[in-house]
């Protein structure tokens, strides 16, 4: 016997509609949407007064922080400008520290009482820790943009360096 009479099936909606959220809202059919009045970011529309018209979108070849590079242009939050003749600089402001880890010191103290030499050899264990950032700047056509990328390994510093060198080769 059911203590809740006339409940119906628990998986059925009370108003007999199919479960779910229903149909999506109507699509916007008005004019062009410009939420901030004028286009923002690195997008510059191709107009008659624009000295660098871009009729078709180009694929992004490399992205370094907030700098995007295509075959013919550099796109930054400050705007878009041609890549030919641009000057790229990279400053490595990271540092790598080496230290003896805590576990090696504890093991060396414990083993030192039994075998002196082995305990001292364990103190030669070192761990490396990289911290800091890499600053990448690009300037061309009277515009300048700089970005800082945090790094935590020397491999990441080399990768950013290779990306900047690739952008330099496109600028030549």
Q: What is the pLDDT of residues 84-138, one digit of tens each?
A: 989 999 999 989 899 989 888 888 888 877 777 777 888 888 998 888 999 999 9
Rounded to the nearest 5°, which phi and psi values hold at 88?
-110, 135
- In angstroms, rounded to a whole number, what is the distance separating the alpha carbons of residues 90 and 157? 10
CB 80 within 8 A of CB 52: yes
Range of the domain at 146: 85-171
Does the residue 127 lie in any domain? yes
Half-sphere exposure of 136 (CA within 13 A, CB side): 24
Does the residue 53 lie in any domain? no
Is the model more confident about 15 or about 154?
A: 154
Is the model more confident about 16 or about 80?
A: 80
Number of domains in the chain: 1
pLDDT by residue (tens digit) across 28-75?
Answer: 555 555 555 555 555 555 555 555 555 567 888 898 988 999 988 888
Residue 164 has pLDDT above 80, yes or no: yes
**Stretch 160-172: mean pLDDT:** 91
pTM for the structure as a whole: 0.58
Does the residue 78 lie in any domain? no
Does the residue 120 lie in any domain? yes
> Between β-strands 62-64 and 79-82, what pairing exists: parallel, antiparallel or unpaired?
unpaired
- The strand pairing partners of 82, in sequence order, are 73
Is the model more confident about 142 or about 13?
A: 142
- In angstroms, rounded to a whole number, what is the distance separating the alpha carbons of residues 74 and 112? 60
Residue reference for tokens 């286009």: 39
Tell me what percent of the chain is helix, strand and coil, each rounded to the nearest 5: 20, 30, 50
Does the residue 103 lie in any domain? yes
pLDDT at 124 (0 to 100): 87
Residue 81 has pLDDT above 90, yes or no: no
Whole-number average pLDDT of the chain? 77
C-alpha torsion 74→79→80→83, nearest 10: -40
Does the residue 124 lie in any domain? yes
Does the residue 149 lie in any domain? yes
């Amino acid at each position: 016997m059911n203590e809740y009479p006339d409940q119906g099936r628990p998986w059925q909606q009370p108003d007999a509609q199919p479960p779910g959220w229903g149909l999506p809202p109507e699509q916007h059919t008005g004019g062009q949407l410009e939420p901030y009045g004028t286009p923002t970011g690195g997008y510059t529309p191709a107009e008659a007064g624009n000295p660098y018209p871009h009729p078709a979108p180009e694929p992004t070849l490399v992205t370094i922080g907030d700098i995007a590079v295509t075959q013919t242009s550099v796109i930054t939050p400050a705007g878009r400008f041609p890549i030919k003749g641009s000057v790229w600089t990279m400053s490595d402001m990271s540092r790598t520290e080496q230290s003896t880890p805590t576990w090696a010191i504890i093991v060396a103290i414990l083993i030192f009482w039994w075998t002196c030499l082995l305990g001292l050899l364990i103190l030669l264990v070192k761990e490396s820790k990289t911290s800091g950032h890499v600053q990448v700047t690009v300037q061309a056509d009277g515009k300048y943009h700089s970005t800082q990328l945090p790094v935590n390994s020397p491999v990441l510093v080399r990768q950013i360096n290779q990306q900047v060198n690739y952008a330099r080769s496109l600028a030549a």
